[in-house]
A and B are shown apart, each in its own frame.
Chain A
Amino acid sequence: MHKKLKKSIEYFLLILLACIFIFPMLWMVVSSMKPEAEIYLDMGGIQSLLPSLDVSQWFLTYKELFSRFNVPQYVINSIIYAVTITVGSIMVNAMAGFAFAKFEFRGKKLLFGLLLVLLIVPVETIIITQFTVAHTLGILNTRLAVVLPMIGNMFFIYLFRNFFRAVPDEIIESVKLDGANNWIVFWKVILPMSKPAVATVGTLSFIASWNDYLWPLMVLTDTDKFPLQVAITNINTTQPVYTNQVMAILTISTIPLIIVYIFAQKYILQGLGGSGTGIK
């Protein structure tokens, strides 16, 4: 009896906690699936966590939202930025990691030391001078300005370098004896043998770029170039503001992330800060 009681209390606690973590997201989704007036009519009751009882209402909010704002454009923008940054980030940082892992060259120690120092620079605090650089380059209000600063990443270079060092030199030598140059070695040997590192960097940079807000907000002025995160605050401040439409754009912007988290869950934990605990 005592044991059963303890177990019930435990489950009660677990469920209570689950409610605390889930209800905001649940309210977000169901509020996007009912008319504006119903949201405030239901507030506080059990019905506030259920979609409209009238099924024909469910996607009406989305229709209204799409008629006021060019949502497909925002989705496409976000996808363009995230995919470009992800692919660019894998390529550029893997190439640099390859150089550090498998080449002896002049200035290697100095450059690598510099790289480790750069890990300490808090990127968020230099946004102002990053902006003046983008201004000087004349790329403000272009898609290029959103993408370029997000590609080079010291932590990813470090992660790739550590991973590539584990590829045996004998394999590289034997491929080279068959007449392959460094590029072919990189493409056909190094990258295919390092799928976990590629997947980790890909997952982390996709999530980071999808969620990026401050930088695109600063460099973009044309609304038709906005990614979803910037579009959200734009929609949330464009009168008249409807709660159900805001919840709809929040829901839309979250769906791709849910998919990424489901399919790439085993790579998420590898990104634990820039603390050098990555793959050894």
Chain B
Amino acid sequence: MNTNKRENVAAYSFLAPALILLGTFLVIPALMAIYYAFTDYYLLTPDQRQFIGLQNFMEIFKDPIFIQSLKNIVLFVVFVIPIQVGAALGLALLINKPRKGNIFFKVAYFSPVVLSLVVISVLWLYLLNPSEGLINSLLANIGMEAQPFLSSPKQAMITIVFVSAWQGAGYQMLIFLAGLQNIPSTVYEAGKIDGVNKWQNFFHITLPLLKPTSVLIMITTLISAFKLIIQPMVMTQGGPMNSTMTPVYYIYQSGFSDRMIGYASAMTVIFGIIIGIITLLQSRLTKEDDM
């Protein structure tokens, strides 16, 4: 009994700092968001906070900007996943062959990963400047007309897709590369004996064996893509005409800039549930694949 108690005390003294920090900055805020979602909490008048039931939730689903932000984020996810993951796989396959200068190419493709999201956002803001940016100057060199990019509601989100994919592909290329190198060469040799050609090799040996890696990469990309905020915040402020407004950015604007804590909390709850479900599905999927 005595040793048991001593073990309890020891364990909790090791746990204490983590429990206090996670409790204060994660558990309490999460619970507060759920509670505030049912109130009309306005930051500047905390004393007049009232319980208003489901009113916030009803308003949210009538809020054209929130609906737009959901559409935008789906558009972003639908494009960024195939482009970024596809590019990563393509690069990994290219690099996987032994050849002179491979290290250089590997470092080159990886290099944007080193830049922070703020840095890439500001940098591309200049590169994509419609009148005097480098990209439009290069397009002019090959006889193409200048594109509006971020200043057009039609092109802005797609532009953010390409900038994000450009930054992230190199990291996933390395993961694919590790996956490729885990495939034993005996598998290919066996294929050779059976007389398979290059395409069969890729579609019937490489791709199936890469499936666990691909699923993992796609789902982690999916989850982080849903939480997009920095690129639109720095590059477009959600515009033009809310075409790059995202849910997390809208939560930030309502709760922080407009100080409507109750309303923002209700959006947090809805969006948190969506991401939570995706994350749960992820652990299911990846577990099955491990077996």
Contact = CB atoms under 8 A, between A and B. Distances in A.
Given A18-B104, A25-B115, A105-B12, A275 B248 contact: no
The winner among A100, A132, A148, A257 for most chain B CB atoms within 10 A is A132
A125 B22 contact: no
Interface stretch (A65-73, A116-124, A166-174): A116-124
Given A95-B15, A122-B276, A258-B114, A133 B216 contact: no
Interface in B247-291: 247-248, 251-252, 255-256, 261, 264-265, 268, 271-272, 275-276, 279-280, 282-283, 286
| Prevailing SS type, chain B contact patch | helix
A272 B218 CA distance: 12
Interface string A91-127: 1110110111001111010010000001111111111
B126 interface: yes
A103 B216 contact: no
B127 A27 contact: yes
B170 interface: yes
B68 interface: no
B124 A103 contact: no
Given A25-B111, A121-B26, A125-B227, A233 B122 contact: yes
A196 interface: no
B112 interface: yes
Contacts of A258: 114
A44 B144 CA distance: 13
Given A122-B227, A126-B30, A126-B272, 18 more contacts: A10-B99, A18-B109, A91-B17, A92-B17, A95-B17, A105-B7, A119-B279, A121-B272, A129-B32, A129-B261, A137-B24, A149-B21, A149-B25, A213-B117, A213-B230, A246-B126, A272-B175, A275-B282
Contacts of A121: 26, 30, 272, 276
A273 interface: yes
Interface in A106-162: 106, 108, 111, 118-133, 137, 148-149, 151-152, 154, 157
17 contacts: A10-B94, A17-B94, A21-B109, A21-B170, A25-B115, A27-B123, A124-B227, A125-B275, A126-B26, A129-B268, A132-B32, A148-B21, A233-B122, A247-B126, A253-B116, A261-B113, A269-B174
Nearest to B216: A275
Nearest to B31: A129
B43 to A, nearest CB: 8
Nearest to A218: B256
A17 B267 CA distance: 41
Interface of A: 10, 13-14, 17-18, 20-22, 24-25, 27-28, 40, 43-44, 48, 91-93, 95-96, 98-100, 103-106, 108, 111, 118-133, 137, 148-149, 151-152, 154, 157, 182, 186, 210-211, 213-214, 218, 229, 232-233, 236, 243, 246-247, 250, 253-254, 257-258, 261, 268-269, 272-273, 275-277
Contacts of B268: 125-126, 128-129
A126 B33 contact: yes
A256 to B, nearest CB: 10
B14 interface: yes
Contact of B220 (A232, A233, A272): A272
Nearest to B212: A277
Contacts of B187: none
A164 to B, nearest CB: 11
Given A17-B109, A125-B227, A152-B22, A130 B29 contact: yes
Interface of B: 7-8, 10-12, 14-15, 17-19, 21-22, 24-30, 32-33, 36, 43, 91, 94, 99, 101, 104-105, 108-109, 111-120, 122-124, 126-127, 132-134, 137-138, 140-141, 166, 170-171, 174-175, 178, 216, 219-220, 223, 226-227, 229-230, 233-234, 247-248, 251-252, 255-256, 261, 264-265, 268, 271-272, 275-276, 279-280, 282-283, 286
Contacts of A24: 112, 120, 123-124, 127, 166
Nearest to A130: B29
A211 B118 contact: yes
Contacts of B33: 125-126, 128-129
The 10 closest A-B pairs by CB, nearest first: A44-B137, A128-B255, A152-B21, A96-B18, A105-B11, A103-B11, A273-B220, A129-B29, A149-B25, A18-B108
B112 A120 contact: no
Contact of B25 (A43, A111, A124, A130): A130
B282 A92 contact: no
A130 B252 CA distance: 12
Contact of B261 (A10, A128, A273): A128
A253 B30 CA distance: 32
B36 A213 contact: no
Contacts of A22: 108, 111
B21 A151 contact: yes
A125 B224 CA distance: 12
A269 B178 contact: yes
